[in-house]
Amino acid sequence: MKNIIRIAVQKSGRLSEDSLSLIKECGIKFYNGTGKLKSTSTNFPIEFLFLRDDDIPGYVADGVADLGIVGENELVEKDKTVEVLKKLGFSKCRLSLAIPKGENYPGLSYFEGKNIATSYPKILSDFLQANQIKAAIHEISGSVEIAPSIGLAEGICDIVSSGSTLMMNGLKEVETIFKSEAVLISHLNLSDEKKEIVDKLLFRMNAVQKGKSNKYVLMNAPNESLDKIAKLIPGMRSPTILPLAQKGWSSVHSVISEDQFWENIEGLRAAGAEGILVVPIEKMIL
């Protein structure tokens, strides 16, 4: 199938929800009913494979899927040869070391000669080796947090988001060894036809993500302050300035990053800007 690409997506969970939400925001329509393992878009040349997240790097490396959306933690742990096309900015988490909360933690030396339970033996092994710590790694799948309480290990290495699961199991986070987010990965040897489709998909993703990180702002401002305000909110090229019916005043329109807006809000107010509106952007084409 030369004129269609396959993308592997986690079949359930938060990563799946965020991945499919991004794809739908790109204007790509498809049906993913409960239990469905494959689906084809009705308006874009793409087919979806719904898989376990730890299987996705292998499917892409082997060419069964052309693209995949997967957490960096799974990508690094599986150590498959693929190309990372784009960091997606969602499903952020960290891989951390944790120990019983009543234990004193002097530093990484705590783990010297001890047992650590994890579902990520490669990442953990690389970290320990880089820090010259010798410890026994016990690979287990799921329910890693229970290992210290049943005497299997003195510590664990597992994915952490809020830390609430650790607390519920009497553990405390002591070291972050890897930070992860969702990434879009690609098979290394795509045909020119498939590369062209991938470029169109990336264009849409970039437009959606650029829109999310920027805001459309408009405000009324005295004409004598326009130069100062234009420097605070330069926009993509320069602000749009329109005269108001009231003499000596103008309406200023611009697009800026949300962080930039909050950094400059006091300066805008000090320059006399009034009636400041901040509007979300659905998509942004540069």
Number of domains in the chain: 3
Q: Is the same domain home to 147 and 255?
A: no
Claim to verify: residue 226 and residue 166 sit in the same structural domain: no
**Does residue 202 sit within a domain?**
no
Residues 97 and 125 in one domain: yes
Which pLDDT tens digits describe the chain residue by residue (286 residues)? 458 999 999 998 889 999 999 999 999 999 876 677 899 999 999 999 999 999 999 999 999 999 999 999 999 999 999 999 999 999 999 999 999 999 999 999 999 999 999 999 999 999 999 999 999 999 998 889 999 999 999 999 999 987 788 999 999 999 999 999 999 999 999 999 999 999 999 999 999 988 888 889 999 999 999 999 998 988 778 899 999 999 999 999 999 888 888 888 889 999 999 999 999 888 888 7
Please identify, among 138, 159, 180, the residue that sits at the C-terminal boundary of a domain: 180
Assigned domain for 198 exists: no
Residues spanned by the domain of 105:
93-180
Q: Are residues 123 and 232 in the same domain?
A: no
Residue 186 sits in the same domain as residue 163? no
In this structure, what are the phi and psi dihedrals at residue 140, rounded to the nearest 5 degrees?
Answer: -135, 155
In a domain, 122, yes or no: yes
Strand partners, 219: 252
Residue 197 lies in a domain: no
Domain stops at, among 133, 154, 180: 180
Same-domain pairing of 168 and 267: no
Question: Can you give the CATH number for the domain in which 60 is found?
Answer: 3.40.190.10
Q: Encoding tokens for residue 45?
A: 């040349």
* CATH code at position 273: 3.30.70.120
Q: How far apart are CA 120 and CA 107, in angstroms?
A: 21
